[in-house]
Amino acid sequence: MKNNITLIGMPGAGKSTVGVVLAKVMGYRFVDSDLVIQEKTGKLLSEIIAEKGTEGFLQVEDEINAGLDCEKSVIATGGSAVYCKNAMAHLKEISTVVYLKLPYERVEKRLGNLKDRGVALKDGQTLKDLYEERCPLYEKYADVVVEADTTSVEACMRKILEKTMH
């Protein structure tokens, strides 16, 4: 039974911001998978990346997200969750996956220091490279795509509700 909504998209797309409001309106729980990772490991995302590297971080993320046990929840994933095949298979099984789509220019404008945000960049990789690499994965896993560009949090939330409530 798919009684959860999972939000995917680039860092800065509004997954956590929209997710909290969406959960309140629906009477659902809000789960931020980045916070679950930090809670279970006892470390900040940036510390995990510094210690284990990007690949090591993705293994941790895959394992923890694949084990999420949620009902009536809005799940905001980290932007890199789409690299985690086990986790994404699990999330598609338990939820409707919504891609919050944002043009590159808006992502760039919204993001501050990538390292502080725990963004998993490979050596020499730019934000633009990351965006171009991830967008096809977001499209692949999404059940629903919502343009999150010029809308308010409320408008974005309404679009999600319209597209996910049958």
149 labelled binding-site residue = no
142 labelled binding-site residue = no
14 labelled binding-site residue = yes
19 labelled binding-site residue = no
40 labelled binding-site residue = no
128 labelled binding-site residue = no
118 labelled binding-site residue = no
Structure tokens at 60: 């941790």
Structure tokens at 76: 């905001």
17 labelled binding-site residue = yes
Residues contacting 92, CB < 8 A, separation 6+: 141, 143
79 labelled binding-site residue = yes
How far is Cα 53 from Cα 45, in angstroms, rounded to an integer? 11
Q: Rounded to an integer, what is the distance from CA 51 to the centroid of its chain? A: 22
46 labelled binding-site residue = no
Residues that constitute the known binding site = 12-17, 34, 79, 117, 134
Residues that constitute the known binding site for ATP = 12-17, 117
Residues that constitute the known binding site for Mg(2+) = 16
